[in-house]
Amino acid sequence: MSVAEGDLAPNFEMPATGGRTVSLAGLSGKPFVLYFYPKADTPGCTKEACAFQEALPQLGHIGLDVIGVSPDKMKPIEKFAEKFSLTFPLASDETKTVAEAYGTWVEKSMYGRKYMGMERSTFLVDKDGKIAKIWRKVSVTGHAAAVLQAAQALG
């Protein structure tokens, strides 16, 4: 299953850093960014998370929340958030239910071996709960800036 731009954002509720819980219901009426990353504290994921952290003041200025999602357990996610002083919620989707709903839990292959894994993807959801923009197979460099630009265009 995969979602498309213009679709309603699939429902979710996950535990997040700092003892928080993030849910679609809790974000009702607010635009937000939901981004999926493969693994906490790996080079690409660290670079992406730090870029979103740097963009937070501008994203916050336009009323946008950012939530990072990985299949990791809460403990490594908490350590990752602490290590890089990430203040936005990082959520744990251990069951991969949310990733499957957003179509980011996909078959990957490395060195000819096929396996299931998290596709680095970002979803910009508008205040009405509709998916305004989707980035799949994200290349980290410049990504947070592209998300910010699209978010500003939401108005």
Q: List the catalytic residues.
A: 45
The residue among 142, 137, 120, 155 whose CA lies nearest residue 35 is 120
Helix/strand/coil percent split, the chain, to 5 = 35, 30, 35
Locate 103 and state its tokens: 């179509």
Distance CA 4, CA 8 (A): 9
**What's the full length of the chain, in residues?**
155
